């Protein structure tokens, strides 16, 4: 066989037709290329589930496997040729000097038989995954990657059709297809209970978050991005990062929320055992992209990306890869963990004012990064009175406003801490109905009233409040308070740390 190229030392060379690059040298590139150290690396061959790559000198030659894997079909030469050109065009958006072009492969008889992507070879020791595994400080590199991707996403194509890819219906379909794709491996490779929980939690999140997803569509945050951001495909060079291997074979899997794109790399950093780096990267991207989103949406997309890779690992297992089954199980566990962290909760923190309820609610919201909501009664609008002391219409109006604001926040993916006495069963039932309507988990915490006069005389430790001052007074639990057996009762304590720990455990 031969490769169409301008290098005269290669036999059976032929000029590549239509868009093929006719000046792709097989010899090492000149000093000062994107990867000057690559020429001294040994030759090697790498096989993935979709491609075969030959590393030689400072070049990489990548051919597509003539296979039908369900999510792609490369059985015809024309399909492989189109995929090669798409790969070059798409990846030049982030690594123009790495993707040199497409070359034609011809047989000994001179007949065209295949096509290959030709790339510059980058130094293996500058791979992000290699640096992370070695324990290197990669915060500077991740900062550069986040900045590069924020600019990239601002330029990526968007349209009404692309925006539809992140609609609630489309996202549900993607999860359903993922669940269907792993079914042949459930019970053999994958744990049935894990897969069942993944499907249930993903569906529950989507059930209650349509306003959030629609808002991100309206803001133009759905783009034709990278689609497969992995630490293995990011190289940290002295003059900046190069991001390779954009997903080219199915635009539907590449387009989506920009957060879903970013979540792929965050997922991969977690898979490498560095959730701290995942959080750092997500925070830097949020900063550079100047966009806001709830943490729960991060967790949803991290889970989805882990689940996608789980399905890929299952495919590799079916192809005979001996380590792929364990990888698939680890990725399924990561997906489930992320979905559990991303659950939207409605946390009622109740009890009389002197029980330390408001201090606990503030501390809990601050510790978890959740939204704290309190209400003022319309009668006074002051911080010295509220449903603790209000009755009748005033108290009802205070709870009305509290639950209305909670509804808005929960629909947009925010876990909400609701600081109120919650003395009456009817008000708690309204909160439960709201949790059901927004597919949120209801958590009910009751701060026990002070049992002894001497305990009441001791000063309650004050925790720094979060958000505006409360509209709740300090009166005790009214005599007419209804029993609250559904709540986890948190005992009075002279220090706040213990009760806060108990409250955090109760919300997990």
For residues 149 and 269, membership in a common domain is answered with yes
Instruction: Classify residue 231 by burial, with Cβ atoms within 10 Å: 0-12, 13-18, 19+.
Output: buried
138 within domain boundaries: no
Closest CA to 89 of 219, 196, 249, 310: 249
Under 8 Å between Cβ of 19 and 102? yes
> 117 forms bridges with which residues in the sheet?
62, 102
258 within domain boundaries: yes
First to last CA, the chain: 60
Under 8 Å between Cβ of 267 and 342? no
What does DSSP say about strands 345-350 and 234-237: parallel, antiparallel, or unpaired? unpaired
- What would the two tokens of residue 281 be? 């990267």
432 within domain boundaries: yes
The CATH number of whichever domain residue 156 belongs to comes to 3.90.1200.10
135 within domain boundaries: no
Instruction: Classify residue 250 by burial, with Cβ atoms within 10 Å: 0-12, 13-18, 19+.
Output: exposed
Cα–Cα distance for residue pair 285/103, rounded to 1 Å: 36
Per-residue confidence (pLDDT) for residue 249, from 0 to 100: 80
Whose tokens are 């005033």? That residue is 394
For residues 349 and 337, membership in a common domain is answered with no
77 within domain boundaries: yes
Give the up-direction half-sphere exposure of residue 295: CA atoms within 13 A in the CB hemisphere.
16
For residues 79 and 151, membership in a common domain is answered with no
For residues 115 and 168, membership in a common domain is answered with no
Per-residue confidence (pLDDT) for residue 69, from 0 to 100: 80
Cα–Cα distance for residue pair 484/350, rounded to 1 Å: 10
- What would the two tokens of residue 497 be? 């740390």
For residues 189 and 323, membership in a common domain is answered with yes
Domain boundary among 341, 376, 398: 341
Count of domains observed in the chain: 3
Sign of torsion, CA 191 192 197 203? positive
For residues 43 and 161, membership in a common domain is answered with no
Per-residue confidence (pLDDT) for residue 355, from 0 to 100: 84
- What would the two tokens of residue 228 be? 């497969």
Domain boundary among 341, 356, 388: 341
Under 8 Å between Cβ of 226 and 265? no
The CATH number of whichever domain residue 51 belongs to comes to 3.30.200
For residues 30 and 177, membership in a common domain is answered with no
Per-residue confidence (pLDDT) for residue 252, from 0 to 100: 80
Domain hosting 62: range is: 2-122
247 within domain boundaries: yes
For residues 320 and 234, membership in a common domain is answered with yes
For residues 230 and 115, membership in a common domain is answered with no
137 within domain boundaries: no
Give mean pLDDT in consecutive 10-residue pieces for the chain, a chain of 508 residues.
39 33 39 50 86 93 89 88 93 96 92 94 95 97 98 96 94 95 96 98 97 96 95 96 90 90 97 97 96 94 96 92 95 98 97 88 95 68 43 75 97 97 95 98 89 48 37 46 92 76 92
Number of continuous H segments (helices) and E segments (strands) in the chain: 17, 15
Per-residue confidence (pLDDT) for residue 243, from 0 to 100: 97
For residues 236 and 361, membership in a common domain is answered with no
Alpha-helix runs per DSSP H in 319-356? 324-341
Whole-model pTM? 0.81
**Cα dist from 420 to 111, 275, 362, whole Å:** 79, 35, 12
- What would the two tokens of residue 422 be? 């919650």
For residues 272 and 319, membership in a common domain is answered with yes
32 within domain boundaries: yes
The CATH number of whichever domain residue 359 belongs to comes to 3.40.50.300
Per-residue confidence (pLDDT) for residue 448, from 0 to 100: 84
For residues 244 and 305, membership in a common domain is answered with yes
Domain boundary among 325, 341, 357: 341
Residue 78's SS3 state is: helix
Cα–Cα distance for residue pair 289/251, rounded to 1 Å: 23
């Amino acid at each position: 066989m031969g490769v169409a190229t301008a290098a005269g030392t290669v036999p059976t060379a032929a000029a590549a037709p239509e868009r093929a690059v006719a000046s792709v040298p097989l010899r090492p590139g000149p000093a000062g290329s994107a990867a000057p150290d690559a020429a001294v690396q040994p030759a090697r061959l790498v096989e993935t589930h979709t491609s075969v790559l030959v590393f030689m000198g400072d070049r990489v030659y990548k051919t597509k496997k003539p296979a039908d894997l369900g999510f792609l079909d490369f059985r015809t030469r024309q399909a492989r040729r189109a995929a090669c050109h798409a790969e070059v065009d798409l990846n030049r958006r982030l690594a123009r000097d790495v993707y040199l072009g497409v070359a034609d492969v011809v047989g000994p008889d001179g007949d065209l038989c295949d096509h290959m992507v030709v790339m510059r070879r980058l130094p293996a020791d500058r791979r992000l995954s290699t640096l992370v595994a070695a324990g290197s400080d990669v915060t500077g590199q991740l900062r550069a990657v986040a900045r590069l991707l924020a600019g990239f996403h601002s330029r990526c194509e968007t349209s009404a059709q692309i925006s539809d890819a992140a609609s609630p219906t489309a996202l549900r379909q993607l999860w359903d297809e993922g669940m269907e794709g792993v079914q042949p491996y459930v019970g053999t490779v994958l744990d049935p209970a894990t897969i069942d929980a993944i499907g249930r939690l993903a569906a529950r999140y989507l059930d209650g978050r349509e306003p959030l997803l629609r808002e991100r569509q309206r803001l133009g945050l759905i783009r034709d991005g990278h689609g497969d951001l992995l630490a293995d495909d990011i190289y940290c060079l002295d003059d900046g990062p190069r991001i390779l291997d954009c997903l080219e074979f199915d635009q539907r899997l590449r387009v989506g929320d920009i957060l879903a794109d970013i979540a792929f790399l965050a997922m991969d950093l977690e898979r490498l055992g560095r959730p701290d780096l995942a959080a750092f990267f997500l925070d830097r991207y949020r900063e550079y992209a100047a966009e806001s989103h709830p943490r729960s949406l991060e967790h949803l997309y991290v889970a989805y990306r882990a689940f996608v890779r789980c399905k890929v690992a299952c495919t590799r297992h079916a192809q005979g890869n001996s380590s792929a089954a364990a990888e698939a199980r680890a990725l399924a566990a990561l997906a489930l963990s992320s979905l559990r962290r991303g659950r939207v909760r409605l946390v009622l923190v109740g009890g009389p004012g002197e029980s330390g309820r408001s201090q606990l609610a503030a501390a809990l919201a601050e510790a978890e990064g959740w939204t704290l909501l309190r209400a003022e009664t319309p009668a006074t609008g002051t911080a010295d009175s509220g449903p603790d002391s209000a009755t009748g219409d005033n108290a009802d109006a205070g709870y009305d406003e509290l639950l209305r604001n909670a509804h808005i926040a929960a629909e947009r993916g925010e876990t909400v801490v609701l600081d109120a006495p919650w003395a009456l069963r009817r008000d708690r039932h309204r909160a439960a109905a709201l949790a059901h309507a927004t597919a949120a988990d209801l958590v009910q915490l009751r701060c026990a009233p002070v049992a002894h006069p001497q305990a009441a005389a001791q000063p309650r430790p004050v925790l720094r409040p979060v958000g505006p001052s409360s509209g709740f007074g300090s009166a005790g639990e009214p005599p007419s308070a209804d029993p609250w057996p559904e709540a986890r009762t948190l005992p009075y304590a002279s220090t706040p740390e213990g009760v806060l720990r108990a409250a955090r455990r109760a919300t997990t």
